[in-house]
Amino acid sequence: MTELLMREAIKKGLEEALEQDPNVLIMGEDIGEYGGAYAVTDGFLAKFGPERIKDTPISEATFIGTGIGAASAGLRPIIELMSISFSLVGFDQIVNMAANIRYMSGGQIDVPMVIRAPTGAGVQLAATHSQSFETWLAEVPGLYCVCPSNPKDALGLMRTSIKNNNPVIFAEPALLYGMRGEVPEEYYEIPLGSASVVDEGNDVTLVSYGAGMSLLREASEILSDNDIDSEIIDLRSLSPIDYKTIGESVKKTNKLVAVDTSRRNGGIMSEVVANVQENFNDWLDGPIIRIGANDVPWPYNKNLEAAAYPSSKNIADSIIEKLIKI
């Protein structure tokens, strides 16, 4: 094992692809000379040259569209957005073009591209730069959507995403770029659509993804102090969602808590909760608890942002009050 920061693990995945496949190129704002908004592509311009590391104008619709054309012609572009908030500017290209070309061409045209973007609140980027639009994009047929919570998963998912012949939304929690974690030295990949059982337990199933996983681990420690044994599941993949892994856990624990760090209204966990209610209701011994951020614009002020963001204490208190005491 070796230790890497989240940004280093993502960089390693990109660098491997550039070294191994001449069809891989990266496009985005300030990814060349500047090295990317979060330094993920630092040094790439000098190593791989301007033909493969392309700084773009501030026009997401334009360079996402360029990526779609390049992918359709046989290249494997990786598009970097400065924030997933800016995916809105290119939504027509992503949702109507990238996601539909394979279907509309009867499978004749693949669109093997990855769209990388920092996502989420917690780093004081205020209302227009703290969105979590992976929750919107995960709804679109024709797109894969993933969101890693640690360096190991970031590298494994990046390797798989770049090799996939479909467009993949690769949402990177902005809060976690500086997170350090162990990464296997031997080569590995993580299949898209596979969740991970992080910790096994018997009393309650906790589910989240991305930055929400640190909240689950903290909540689990509080619950452990109250003799409650938690099973923790990291979705990793938001489209498709691994409902089988979630269902098997619910059959064992008979209780489900689903946590979004995005706003609760319209979050990924609404789909998780609906699926469990429809397919595993007979195994539930209590109400499903769903927790998410408050339905307000993200404040810049640190204390206000924290107040809108879910907390591990709130998660643990809700479980003890609503599930354990019933």
The residues annotated with a catalytic role in the active site are 60, 129
The enclosing H or E element of 315 equals: helix 312-319
Q: Are 288 and 276 in contact (CB under 8 A)?
A: yes
- Residue 214 carries which side chain, given as an amino acid letter? S
What's the DSSP call for residue 119? Answer: E
DSSP per residue, 129-168: G---THHHHTTSTT-EEE--SSHHHHHHHHHHHHH-SS-E
Neighbouring CB atoms inside 10 A of 99's CB total 22
Phi and psi based region of residue 94 (left: phi greater than 0; alpha: psi -120 to 50; beta: remaining):
alpha
**Closest C-alpha to 26, from 156, 88, 113, 143:** 113
Neighbours of 19 (CB within 10 A): 11
The answer for residues whose C-beta is within 8 angstroms of residue 308's C-beta and 6 or more apart is: 121, 293, 294, 296, 298, 299
Cα separation of 217 and 295, whole Å? Answer: 24
